[in-house]
Structure 1
């Protein structure tokens, strides 16, 4: 059983997003003092009556590239929760600059959201960004004494709902590969357990693989989405060439299209199939399956009910 300790100021980056906002509410519920780092103060998470979360400060920074604002946001902070930046050509540079800003501000501990299978040769090209970030984080920790924990998340359940096209078809070169997708809420629960554990040093240097409780093929994902939504949802297995051709007209940059396509080929390669017990070990309950998440959070997949 995890026992909580709300000692020290916690900075939550990306606090207006799906993951950061969930963590902010959990930390507030446990009485933690926190500083929410956002681009727009109006988008910071608030209580239902519009009031700020208790024991909560707001810091404004125009993204991770705003090094001065990030250092100011981290001043006096003991722990930083670093939500990975949106995919971009300079994503690794944004991550490393933010890590460096945390060290310059005197932060003692940083928890980073990475991706399962992060490696220099990962099939999923965006997972390579996470590997390079992890390498920088490890190097900084070695020379500065920064205490670090890495949460390697699988694809989110919500992301799978966004794979469905307007015609109800999931198209991609995933073959019969499997994905152990996870909910944002389970990741937020793991982050809460790591950040507020009264024995925090047992997480120092740890890398956790945060997955759902089962690995599904995309055909099974489609069937699960169809049952929950009452809509006809199917999976069409494209070839890799077909996938690039079908996305060529979107006007996206090549690195972005490569990320889209390789999220499927990584599934085909088996790189997203491993089911970890880290959620249950750290949180004390099983992770939510895709079907459970669909049942518990209907507002999260309203895009399917058309």
Structure 2
């Protein structure tokens, strides 16, 4: 079985590549900048971007199962995804394992989730075997903000989010890549073990650390204004703010047993990620 892995210079793809190598499987590591790819036993590095070109098709020719990490956020991300999926289809790839987003839909409140819905649809429309790993927001995202700023700030109200550890997602992806036949044409929801609002996240970390971390429940207008300290384009501001409005509207709530189903254990808790 020939495995290909994208995103290997990033957190998630890099973790998956290492786990697949440690499990004794050979893999093709696809990277826009091959010199930044990890040097792993049994791995071969290919230069490839999210596009449909002859070099990309050659890199994918002979691949049975492809792990496709969603591209870095940008206005052309949907086109990049669709072009790359087209290249995979033309190269004869049989099965795409794609990192999507929890409750992805064309009308998702979280603006970037709409990209994932379009990508999922294209993979299905081309008749490819698929496994969609729908990640909720990462626990690490919220905890890193507490570490850096001492606060979580956004218009989430008391909406709950079943945030998940990136480590769990990488473990699930690695397991699926080495046993793809068990997960064909399935959509798996990646959630943590708890549904928590922002106040509860802060309170639980304060209990561990005896800190005075805070949650500031902004209005939408306040959220846009406070984020102007970071120069960005409008679509970026929209995505940052809609992270919280999606939580407020309940779109990121709900617990799944899919991680336990794949890994045979409970998801990693907020406290364990912090530690």
Could you tell me the TM-score, scaled by structure 1's length? Answer: 0.85
Q: CA deviation at 1:37?
A: 1.0
SS at match of 2:112: helix
CA deviations over 1:138-174 (Å, ceiling 9, x no partner):
1012xxxx21110100111121124448541211000
The answer as to whether partners of 1:228 and 1:294 remain within 8 angstroms in 2 is: no
How many residues are matched? Answer: 275
The answer as to whether partners of 2:52 and 2:87 remain within 8 angstroms in 1 is: no
Task: Provide the residue aligned with 1:268 in structure 2.
Answer: 248
1:56 aligns with 2:43: yes
Give the counterpart of 2:139 among 124, 149, 157.
Answer: 157
Task: Provide the residue aligned with 1:131 in structure 2.
Answer: 117
Give the counterpart of 1:17 among 10, 20, 23.
Answer: 10
The answer as to whether partners of 1:35 and 1:58 remain within 8 angstroms in 2 is: yes
CA deviations over 1:50-92 (Å, ceiling 9, x no partner):
xx3221101122x314733322221221111000011111111
Aligned CA RMSD, in angstroms, stands at 1.7
SS at match of 1:259: helix
SS at match of 2:67: strand
The answer as to whether partners of 2:29 and 2:44 remain within 8 angstroms in 1 is: yes
Change (3 A) 1:229 1:92: farther
SS at match of 2:58: helix
Change (3 A) 1:131 1:31: same
Change (3 A) 1:66 1:252: farther
Could you tell me the TM-score, scaled by structure 2's length? Answer: 0.94
The answer as to whether partners of 1:210 and 1:276 remain within 8 angstroms in 2 is: yes
1:89 aligns with 2:75: yes
